[in-house]
Amino acid sequence: MKRVLLIIGGGIAAYKCLDLIRRLGERGIAVRCVMTQAAQAFITPLAVGAISNEPVATDLFDLDAEREIGHIRMAREADLVVVAPATADLLARMAQGHANDLATAVLLATRAPVLAAPAMNPAMWSHPATQRNVRQLKTDGVSFIGPNAGEMAEKGEAGVGRMAEVAELVARIESLLDGAGRGDGGFGFLNVAAVRSARASLAGRHVLVTSGPTHEPIDPVRYIANRSSGKQGHAIAAAARRLGARVTLVSGPVQLPDPEGVEVRHVQTAREMLEAAEAALPADLAVFAAAVADWRVAAPGGGKIKKAAGAPPPSLELVENPDILRTIAKRGPRRPALVIGFAAETQNVVEYAKAKRKAKGVDWMVANDVSEKSGVFGAERTRVHLITAEGVEDWPDMGKAEVADALLRRAAAYLAERRESV
């Protein structure tokens, strides 16, 4: 039986935890609860205890409870720790590593993956301090769900800050528990121990990332481009840097600042991108997140093409661009040990990506749906599938930074394993 340790924070969304405990119980998942002092102002330990059928822990200094279970044992026995609602204050204390109450002491002592479901007023959520804490916690391996946009408890307030719904929480918890049980680590990137080793293993590595669109000139003022924002590629470069790697980012034209501590090569065209990527080799890991134009204009005009009255519109002859990913994946001895491609598709997402993985000689392919209905282009969130030689993993809905962190930790663990087995 899988065990979830649910840490209930002090927010109005705490009432959703009663339903959450029941739904997890229906799925055969045992839930033990810790309530912060503030949580007890919203729901009672009596109600939580009755629904979870377990004693509820509230106090670090309750000697009887410590003798009975003990906070270290509680931390150790959980397969997953869920913090819901994760209030701004609780996130701040987690980010700082405080241990001055039972909830934070357990969070510091656990080696199980941690999932936080933030809930707070939108102004508190978007405050730079909260966002800084969230970034820190993500780097530490904490996984997040929500907050969602919508009405707040306060009358007339709306925005991003609502706790994820119970059904979403249940789905994410089940998928995390599935991964935690798998020998290969499954979603092991969320495991704190794996995160620590992953961080160590990207130190001393060189990571090459391509990002953004390319601009293919038609004449000196016009060009062919696409809707790529570069957010995913830039997030990958930043995540690699956070894990200690030396990073070269080859970026097409984007409206994003250069990630800190990363060597950035700015290019316009696919051919320039290939040249810069090749010049950056050797690399241990290469991630091709750029949306490279498949074609360029065969003979771009030297001067601006003029519109003449009565003359037919000019026709553009296109020629194929080099495939940067394929070229580097088939580079022989200079091939990076791990090559990851992205496949943006509007239909048959996984099938096309599987075929591409083979055709281009790529190790892993990250596939996502960029159809108009998915709204992925330029967005902060995405839903991807990771395709490896072993099979397909459907990742839950995540922020692009979260996908980047998860992917890079997986890559780091893979590289570390390879090094051990050589």
CA dist 265 and 210 (Å) reads 10
Interface residues for ligand C5P in 182-211 (CB under 6 A)? 210
Closer residue to ligand C5P, CB minimum distance, 11 or 341: 341
Is 226 in the active site?
A: yes
CA dist 43 and 15 (Å) reads 6
Structure tokens at 333: 């001895």
CB of 340 to ligand C5P, least distance (A): 8
Q: What is the x/- site pattern for ligand C5P, positions 345-374, by CB under 6 A?
A: -----------x------------------
Closer residue to ligand C5P, CB minimum distance, 74 or 353: 353
CA dist 84 and 358 (Å) reads 42
Give 398's strand partners. 382
The b-or-e profile of 33-65 (16+ CB within 10 A means b, else e) is bbbbebbbebbebeebeebbebebbbebeeeeb
Half-sphere exposure of 68 (CA within 13 A, CB side): 11
CB of 275 to ligand C5P, least distance (A): 13
Four-CA torsion 207, 341, 294, 263, nearest 10 degrees: -10
CA nearest 74: which of 82, 66, 64?
66
- Residue 230 as a binder of ligand C5P (CB under 6 A): the answer is no
Stretch that binds ligand C5P, among 10-18, 152-160, 284-292, 302-310 (CB under 6 A): 284-292
What is the DSSP pairing of strand 246-251 with strand 206-211?
parallel
CA dist 160 and 124 (Å) reads 10
CB of 395 to ligand C5P, least distance (A): 17
What is the DSSP pairing of strand 223-224 with strand 216-217?
antiparallel
Structure tokens at 158: 């709306």
Q: What angle do CA 335, 336, 341 make, to 5 degrees?
A: 100
- Residue 342 as a binder of ligand C5P (CB under 6 A): the answer is yes
Number of residues that bind ligand C5P (CB under 6 A): 13
Give 57's strand partners. 34
Question: Angle of helix 102-109 relative to helix 88-96, nearest 10 degrees?
Answer: 40
- Residue 276 as a binder of ligand C5P (CB under 6 A): the answer is no
Stretch that binds ligand C5P, among 30-38, 100-108, 321-329, 371-379 (CB under 6 A): 321-329
CB of 185 to ligand C5P, least distance (A): 24
Interface residues for ligand C5P in 22-81 (CB under 6 A)? none
Closer residue to ligand C5P, CB minimum distance, 37 or 346: 346
CB of 356 to ligand C5P, least distance (A): 6
DSSP assignment letter at 163? P
Contact between residue 137 and residue 95 where contact means Cβ atoms under 8 Å apart? yes
**Contacting residue, 325, 376, 411, 412, with ligand C5P by CB under 6 A:** 325
**Contacting residue, 34, 236, 250, 292, with ligand C5P by CB under 6 A:** 292
DSSP assignment letter at 213? B
Containing 136, the helix (H) or strand (E) segment is helix 128-139
- Residue 270 as a binder of ligand C5P (CB under 6 A): the answer is yes
Stretch that binds ligand C5P, among 66-74, 83-91, 95-103, 285-293 (CB under 6 A): 285-293
**Contacting residue, 133, 232, 321, 382, with ligand C5P by CB under 6 A:** 321
- Residue 288 as a binder of ligand C5P (CB under 6 A): the answer is yes
Query: What are the two backbone dihedrals, phi and then psi, of residue 3, each rounded to the nearest 5 degrees?
Result: -120, 130
CB of 304 to ligand C5P, least distance (A): 27
CB of 216 to ligand C5P, least distance (A): 11
Of the candidates 133, 191, 226, 368, the residue annotated as catalytic is 226
CB of 159 to ligand C5P, least distance (A): 35
CA dist 10 and 87 (Å) reads 7
Closer residue to ligand C5P, CB minimum distance, 243 or 292: 292
**Contacting residue, 194, 209, 286, 343, with ligand C5P by CB under 6 A:** 343
| Residues in contact with ligand C5P by the rule CB under 6 A | 210, 270, 288, 290, 292, 321, 323-325, 341-343, 356
Q: Among all residues, which ones are annotated catalytic?
A: 226
